[in-house]
Amino acid sequence: MVDQFNKLNEEDKELMYQVPLLVSILIAGADNKIDKTEVREAVTLSKIKQQKARKDLIDYYKEVGQDFEDKLKVMIQQFPLDAEVRNPQIIEKLQRVNGILSKLDKNFAIDFYSSIRDMARKVAEASGGVLGYMSIGYEESKLINLDMIKDPSKMG
């Protein structure tokens, strides 16, 4: 359990643990198709972040990383296939994170925000471009900054 989440109710905790999954699905599915490369990248990132995330996020990613691929596949099935329907549903869930971040330690919230934006960028880079290298498609580029989540470092 992440100490930071002791102040949160169960619904807020659950949403916080879903954020990397939601971000992965949002970005991977931005172009209306979630391909294996993007899923594989999200799973790899969940493993890397368990060791290489900022120190205050390691426990969070260890919790999130348990059965990440299975949770991701299940969650993909829970959303509509069509990105035009799916994306607004995911965005609405991610917007609720703003209220949760304000309840957490500011440094943790800032590190969390930075980390999930990094994850969004890496999932977006996983497919697309010339031979699939380091290129972000148009649909992904509109979502990659996760504008639905406000930067905690700029909040009062």
What is the residue-wise DSSP string for 28-79?
A: HTTTS---HHHHHHHHHHHHHHHHHS-GGGHHHHHHHHTTHHHHHHHHHHHS
Give Cα 74 distance to the centre of its chain: 15
Q: Would residue 146 count as lying in a domain? A: yes
Q: Would residue 156 count as lying in a domain? A: no
Q: Would residue 71 count as lying in a domain? A: yes
Q: Would residue 108 count as lying in a domain? A: yes
Q: What is the pLDDT of residue 69?
A: 94
* pLDDT tens column, 133-155: 556 777 787 888 899 999 999 87
The Cα 33–Cα 79 span in angstroms is: 13
Q: Would residue 102 count as lying in a domain? A: yes
Helix (H, G, I), strand (E, B) or coil at 126: coil
* Higher pLDDT, residue 23 or 125: 23
* pLDDT tens column, 32-88: 888 888 899 999 999 999 989 888 899 999 999 999 999 999 999 999 999 999 999
Q: How many domains does the chain have?
A: 1
Which amino acid, 132? G
Q: Please state the pTM of the whole predicted model.
A: 0.92
Residue 140 lies in domain? 3-151
Q: Would residue 29 count as lying in a domain? A: yes
